Amino acid sequence: MAVIGIDLGTSGCKTVLVGRDGVILASATAEYPLSTPRPLWSEQDPHDWWRGVVASVKAVLAQRPSEPVEGLGIGGQMHGAVLLDGAGQVVRPAILWNDGRCQAECDLLHKTVKGLIKETGNRALVGFTAPKLLWVQRHEPKLWKQVRTVLLPKDYLRWRMTGEAVAEMSDGAGMLLMDVANRRWSKKLLAACHIDESYLGRLVEGTEIAGRVTAAAAAELGIPEGTPVVGGAGDQAAGAVGAGCVTPGFTTIAIGTSGVVFTTTKGYAPEKDGRLHTFCHAIPGRWHQMGVMLSAAGSLQWYRDTLVPGADFGALCDEAGTAPLGCDGLTFLPYLTGERTPLCDPLARGAFVGLARLHGRAHLTRAVLEGICCGLVESLELIRSAGTKVTEATVTGGGTRSAVWMQMLADLGNVRIVQRAGADAGPALGGARLALIGCCGVPVKTACAPGPIEASYTPDKGRVKAYRSVLARYRALWPALRGYCHAVA
């Protein structure tokens, strides 16, 4: 007996088949294209997602053809806007989380909605869904008149599977249309965005059965008609569930193209200035705080591809370990694609500051790694200042493979960094775990147990103290460079 977990990513769909004991039995991935038709725009065809799901589900079932499927859960890219007409047809390409066209609509929401941060737990940012919907209303009014249903990306997949237009708490909270404290749609934000609540569907918890697979979808996917499908979760919440981050205070740091610091909280506790995201957790009755930097390992990849093409990432990181702490005064700002936490500024730009003739490649590489760590620590410190004590963090993502880099993070953040078995399985495993809870009755504590620690990095008191000045100069640079960055952007 097994469940299926799906991760609807930006570049591809990953599907896993997971046994009742939590062990991954099979895995498959199907890719699809991304469209950037204009500067700042990022779109995808939802039909491509469905084709990816069908291909990857069939591939995992082919690996274990005799394994009965008891349920299904989906994790997926957040904040996107899928617009359907009254006949259930997609009326335009989906606008994605990394689309930056709607800053004017964000500014409008801050001007017109009193207490926006208190109501939603978040600032209005270009990545969120609500300003995207306003943009469509203002720039494509004829098209908007056709719209009768608004779905998030993973919820569109569930709709294709079950025929049920349903939203889920952790992902819905990232739309900027929810009263996050009370886990319901916000009448204030719906009015401000001219959205009829009927367009959004009912809200369910991540472990709640939201529908059952229809005969048509069953024929395409190769799973039994009537298979239950749970609410699932946004990708970050699903990834946290996959890593076992479901108890208050448990913290994860994901170092992929972007970087995310995620901590589970018992109650609703928004950061007063909205610099942290405060969303519902995928586990009922819990919330989470999340800091996001847009170019984490993406900054290292840009550096490698631009300045040392073809170099091995591991070798570069090892070489960085030969440069002195603080890089002899060299600092890197990792704002290559703007920045969310704590700047909330899409016009932020990256920089090397303090270059001198004494600096070699090892200095530059270490500066990139230290700059990424500083960006992650900004989120960690905001979480601490909001009242959560963080002494340990589980790391996930490709950036965690370097011991040199992980020790830097431990020292800069004054936090024990641990790597756990299975934590990198990500949102697909999280979706499967939510299905184990909701469809199979497995207790949360059992389904979401963290894996054993495989490696750990303890902060060194001397280096923690030495890094304080590095953090101080990092924080001083953005106020000094903000005007320049805005002028060139």
Higher confidence at residue 29 or residue 337? 29
Quickly list H helices, 178-224.
187-192, 215-221
pLDDT at 39 over 90: no
217 and 312 belong to one structural domain: no
Query: 0.85 exceeded by the pTM?
Result: yes
Q: Are both 327 and 350 inside the same structural domain?
A: yes
Predicted confidence band of residue 19 (pLDDT cuts 50, 70, 90): very high
pLDDT at 98: 87
Does residue 46 lie within any of the structural domains?
A: yes
Residues 334 and 478 in one domain: yes
Judge whether 30 lies within some domain.
yes
- CATH number of the domain within which 120 lies: 3.30.420.40
Fill in the amino acid letter for 440. C
Q: Say yes or no: 300 and 371 in one domain.
A: yes
Are 443 and 315 part of one and the same domain? yes
CB atoms inside a 10 Å sphere around CB 289: 25
Distance CA 293, CA 438 (A): 32
Same domain assignment for residues 287 and 159: no
Query: Residue 66's pLDDT is what?
Result: 86
pLDDT category, 257, cuts 50, 70, 90? confident
Q: Give which of 311, 301, 362, 371 is closest to 335, Cα–Cα.
A: 371
Q: Residues 207, 299: one domain?
A: no
Q: What is the pLDDT of residue 346?
A: 84
Residue 424: per-residue pLDDT: 83
Report percent pLDDT > 70 for the chain: 100
Same domain, 307 and 430: yes
> Region 338-361: what's the mean pLDDT?
94
Distance CA 119, CA 393 (A): 29
pLDDT bucket at 256, cuts 50 / 70 / 90:
confident
CA dist 484 and 489 (Å) reads 9
Distance in angstroms (rounded) separating the CA atoms of residues 374 and 335: 12
From 418, 427, 448, 388, select the one nearest 252 (Cα to Cα): 418
How many C-beta atoms lie closer than 10 Å to residue 88's C-beta?
A: 12
Range 275-303 average pLDDT: 94
Instruction: Assess whether 280 and 150 both reside in one domain.
Output: no
For residue 132 the two structure tokens come to 């995207």
Residues in the chain: 489
Residue 220 resides in a domain: yes
**Is 238 a domain residue?**
no
121 vs 317: CA distance, rounded Å: 37
Q: Where does a domain end: 203, 231, 259?
A: 231
Structure confidence by residue, pLDDT tens digits, 307-347: 999 999 999 999 999 999 999 999 999 999 889 999 988 88
**The predicted structure's pLDDT at residue 312:** 95
Residue 389 structural domain: 244-489
pLDDT digits (tens, 9 = 90+) for 84-127: 999 999 999 999 998 989 999 999 999 999 989 988 989 999 99
The verdict on 196 and 322 lying in the same domain is no
- Domain end: 200, 231, 262, which one? 231
Is residue 45 situated within a structural domain? yes
Q: Which amino acid is at 407?
A: Q
pLDDT grade, residue 53 (50/70/90)? very high
Give the residue numbers annotated as catalytic, written as ranges: 235
Q: Are residues 288 and 404 in the same domain?
A: yes
In a domain, 327, yes or no: yes
Kind plus residue range of the DSSP H or E element containing 84 = strand 82-85
* For residues 252-278, average pLDDT: 91
Domain boundary among 231, 254, 274: 231
236 within domain boundaries: no
pLDDT tens readout for residues 364-399: 999 999 999 999 999 999 999 988 889 999 999 888
Model confidence at 422, pLDDT cuts 50, 70, 90, reads confident
| Residue 250: predicted pLDDT | 94
Please say if the pLDDT value at position 139 is more than 90. Answer: yes
Average pLDDT over residues 42-62: 97
Residue 334 domain-assigned?
Answer: yes
Q: Which secondary structure element, helix H or strand E, spans residue 482, and what is its range?
A: helix 461-488
- Pair 328, 361 in one domain: yes
- Count: domains in the chain: 2
